[in-house]
Copies of this chain bind each other. A is one copy, B any other.
């Protein structure tokens, strides 16, 4: 790992008992607040993005990384949001979280048919959100070329879960805990 990336890694902090007791939350905000670390992380995603037509990000923290990747590569950005937050006609998918469950949505016209999509979220926990995101993109006529995350919590086995449902989709995480 190069030094800029090592510095970025060191800026991720753990918040104990958030959002509920027993969960240690991985807080990326100190990394984001440090410009060189944010750039170093985005640079790591560039090779993935260059084989894609569009970058999708999951609300809300996934937007931060996905939008910067889209800008950096000249690709378009597509938001995947919580149900009820997108104003136009949507597809919806439900999923289980590390703590609770939720429904996410995508605009039905967001993805051009046949587009290769880089799907980004900040943290890979159980992989439930990402699997729902892949289903949404598939229903929209696109193909997820790769999943990218900044931090993968390996004990929650997102990689195994994604591989079970979508064995053809590679998963790239910059850091692992």
A residues in contact (CB < 8 Å) with B? 13, 15, 18-19, 25, 27, 29, 32-36, 38-39, 42, 54, 59-61, 63-65, 67-68, 70-79, 81, 85-88, 107, 110
Query: How many Å lie between the Cα of A81 and that of B93 in the bound state?
Result: 24
Interface of A is mostly: mixed
Which of A33, A39, A74, A86 counts the most B-chain CB atoms under 10 A from its CB?
A: A33
| B71 and A42 contacting across the interface, CB-CB below 8 Å | yes
Name the residue on B nearest A23 (C-beta).
B87
| B75 and A35 contacting across the interface, CB-CB below 8 Å | yes
Contacts of A67 in B (CB 8 A): 32, 63-65, 67-68
Query: How many Å lie between the Cα of A76 and that of B36 in the bound state?
Result: 8
| B27 and A87 contacting across the interface, CB-CB below 8 Å | yes
Which of B25, B36, B77, B110 meets A74, CB within 8 Å? B36
Contacts of A107 in B (CB 8 A): 29
Which of B33, B73, B77, B79 meets A78, CB within 8 Å? B33
Given contacts A35-B76, A60-B81, A64-B63, contact A29 B71 (CB under 8 A): no
| B74 and A71 contacting across the interface, CB-CB below 8 Å | no
